[in-house]
Structure 1
């Protein structure tokens, strides 16, 4: 089945992790892919996955925290594929782990710039093209955006901001037929989570993972493909009456 046949998806941070899994899933569902990622990102796995699905791929190098990065991605989507049907605001960074009083201001500013400003800029840049096709936006927040983890204040604030952006944009763009929703993953088996283990002993790394898994009623990290499946639902025709939704894909973390 190809529910997205003939459609175009612009995905930020598509080179790895949830972004790569999402690009793979949407390509298999029939969409051509425009990937916006930082210069020098390894897109070999992305290119192979999209080619295997028989779809087209356009890679744009740029920074999601800048309007120039988004303008280049939109222009490339229009030039190569004729427009945009789906925007997935996936690019994000975690920032350091530290209490508020020791959290570096420069790191806070960077996390907010990528996660919150980047998502806002993405919607802003894509609205003219999404309006033409009554498109869909899927923002990636986090379970951190639904609570208050105390040692990742930049990440937590940015992901709360993404939820506010989602609700505001859903209300503001509904008259144009543009649907806007968000997915809130719990810890997922990606480089972002594995980055917490870098430089630690094997025992410490196992302890970190065990702590996160113990917090999840299903007892494990999510697979990126499981998050991608939720994104595909919100990007596809079966969610035609869903907008402004905040969907937790978290193994029951927020059911507590």
Structure 2
């Protein structure tokens, strides 16, 4: 595939960058002339992902820790020189059980990573973007945040929160040169599927009119548009890669 230089002189932080959508997005940004720092909890996987993507640096941290996120943002600014782009791709699924059986610790961990952690990342990075007078943020939500998946209440609630948060932040920043949107993919082939029973994967596939799971490359292509200069008049919105499952 031939790439342009959409990200020449642009610098990005990508959370969940050691695998899946985060890693694929990093590859594309680097291939198109950008600089990337990968964030992930898995330090060993980060080292391999840096070699694979050509990232400028890595930060191993738990995004549910606000102090770690603050330090990680400062460290990334030091590596990159400036921060133009944030892709919040880190996330977990949690337990796959009905609400009345949902373990409290699993609920809390999903909310802490998928919603609170994403909030911490946005909160710490936005001031760097305001300094530049330019920024692009892609917060990775899910069709589950629009429709709700049974036996996935914590995940669905957290992703609905990401959508609402993104709409709010996007409107706050609309006149300041910083564009904020969410991606709402249906299930796509990714390491996160290992956290789910096959029955849940089969259910989610059955809801997609195209009759298949997505490919990570399809969502990465959308994300790279969302965080490019080409995305200049859409903010506080959601972009859909769901094979027809959600059309709103």
TM-score by length of 1: 0.90
Does the 8 Å contact 1:50/1:57 carry over to 2?
no
Does the 8 Å contact 1:95/1:111 carry over to 2?
yes
- Cα drift, residue 43 of structure 1: 2.4
Distance 1:156 1:127 in 2: 26
The residue that corresponds to 1:127 in the other structure is 126
Indicate yes or no: 2:107 matched with 1:104: no
The residue that corresponds to 1:246 in the other structure is 238
The residue that corresponds to 2:33 in the other structure is 30
The residue that corresponds to 1:232 in the other structure is 224
Does the 8 Å contact 2:140/2:182 carry over to 1?
yes
TM-score by length of 2: 0.93
Greater alpha carbon shift after TM alignment, 177-186 vs 25-34? 25-34
Distance 2:190 2:101 in 1: 26
Shift in alpha-carbon separation, 1:123–1:209, aligned structure 2, 3 A: closer
Match of 2:6 among 3, 6, 13: 3
**Aligned structure 1 segments of 4 or more residues deviating by more than 4 angstroms:** 207-210
Q: Which runs of 5+ in 1 are unaligned?
A: 198-204
Q: CA RMSD in A?
A: 1.6
Distance 1:208 1:148 in 2: 13
Q: Deviations over 1:132-178 (max 9, x none)?
A: 22101100000000012221111010000000110000011123211
Does the 8 Å contact 1:84/1:126 carry over to 2?
yes
Indicate yes or no: 2:168 matched with 1:165: no
